[in-house]
Amino acid sequence: MAITKIHPIKSTLNIAIEYITKAEKTDEKILVSTNKCHISTAHTQFIKRRQEYNIRGTVLARHLIQSFFPGETTPETAHKIGLELCKKILKDEYEYVLSTHIDKGHIHNHIIFNNVNMVTGKCYQSNKKSYHQIRYQSDKLCKENNLSVIDEYYEIFKKKYKTKGKSWYENEQSKRGTSWKSKLQFDIDRIIIKSKDWDEFLKRMADLGYEIKHGKHISFKHKDKERFTRAKTIGEDYTEERLKERISENINQKTFTVKKRVGNIIDIESNEKIKASKGYEYWATKHNLRVASDTVILMREQGFKSFAQLDEFIKENADKRQNLQDEIKRIEQKITNLSSTIEQIHIIKKYKLIYQEYKTNSSDKSFYDEYKSQITLYKNALSNLKKHYSKMPDSKDILKELDLLHEKKNTLMQEYSSVKDSMNELYHIRKNYEKYMGKERER
């Protein structure tokens, strides 16, 4: 397995080359190779090439690092792989210095190459496409030399979902201020709940500061952003067709929308402050009448003709909230299981060669002692996967399923939050009614 990274060198080129070719790091410079230049004069050769082609850019060279998994390869093999990588990506068209460092816990290659192509005179274009080519060639060479290869989908999984001490949802909430797609998703979810039809949804999104572009795929651009974002890139629940379906589903279910918070009924008989002040008692009586009136008006606005109807709606919403909670827990459990699965796949890929070496030389106790923990991890991961899968699952498919589950969970969490807020207000209204009407009956 090899990890690759590349960065530009804009100054102190001579110091960088001197560092990567130090004798104590490269087995007395045995593990150093060059192309079309010499170690001691490579930096001046790079500069001359720039002058030859009248290059004015700030980048003098590129520094590529290729790191191998500890204990997986020898210095000689690593150096050979580094030379092959140079041939594949530089094609004998760039001066370079290659060194293999063996002074750390893991063997790694340093490749410093001229930013100027000595055949065409053009500068090296470092971008996603060229880096993908480096990764591809590095992985291919690792496979050819029986080394493991990094699982790119596991790397994506780590970046997206492995958060310290936080659930995925909590992490998303903490990123609301910086994550544009999360912000758009959050706004869409809360506006859908409030919208009675598609036109109202579009108007409410526009009121939030979004410019909307219609076409094959609906796109949104906030006033603070420069580019439009297609809603479908957030997830399958955010295509135009699905958004309309969600609004329709929302309309078909009776909803409760709080326009303003209703006050609290004051218990006039047991309140000590009222007993001590006739003025406060007068104010409290008027306050209770106003709250009772607001409660009745709010009920009528929401379509409730009786408190029996309100009670029935409270029960329906309580059931809905419980169902949402149960579904969220089910999704969370599935996310946990799939996260465990992708971790196990990673362990098997990571330690496969070590385990194969152990099986080939099972009598070598020193090898087992050195890699006992890795061998145990491999065996346990393989055993766990066999309990649930007839064949090795694909981490790409697992990651795709995780993405869908996280999107679904986030949508359900928004819906749950809305139902919970409505329920709190409904209970508040019911409590006011019981307090006020109960006292009225006693009188």
CA distances from 290 to 293, 305, 441 (A): 5, 19, 18
E strand or H helix that includes residue 112: strand 108-114
Dist. CA 33–CA 24, nearest whole Å: 16
In a domain? residue 165: no
DSSP string across 61-87: EEEEEEEE-TTSS-HHHHHHHHHHHHH
Burial of residue 25 (number of CB atoms within 10 Å: 0-12, 13-18, 19+): buried
What is the Cβ-side half-sphere exposure of residue 369, based on CA atoms within 13 angstroms? 4
Pairing mode, if any, of strands 96-101 and 32-35?
antiparallel
What pLDDT score was predicted for residue 17? Answer: 97
Residue 7: CATH number of its domain: 3.30.930.30
**Which of 252, 286, 309 corresponds to the end of one domain?**
252
315 and 345 together in one domain: yes
| pTM check: above 0.75 | no
Residue 364 forms part of a structural domain = yes
For the stretch 172-202, pLDDT in tens is 444 444 457 777 887 888 888 788 899 999 9
Question: Does 159 fall in a domain?
Answer: no
The answer to whether residues 305 and 388 belong to one domain is yes
Assess if residue 282 is contained within a domain: yes
Q: Do residues 401 and 420 both lie within one domain? A: yes
Q: Count up the domains in the chain and report the number.
A: 3
Domain that holds residue 431: 259-443
Is 372 inside any structural domain? Answer: yes
Most confident of 5-14, 142-151, 216-225: 5-14
Residue 72 lies in a domain: yes
- The 10s digit of each residue's pLDDT in 136-179 is 899 889 989 888 766 778 877 887 776 544 444 445 444 444 45
Taking alpha carbons only, the member of 187, 167, 189 closest to residue 176 is 187
Q: Is residue 304 part of a domain?
A: yes
Torsion of CA 418, 421, 425, 426, to 10 degrees: 50
What's the rounded Cα separation, in Å, for the pair 294 and 6? 66
One domain for residues 246 and 264: no
- Number of helices (H), then strands (E), belonging to the chain: the values are 15, 8
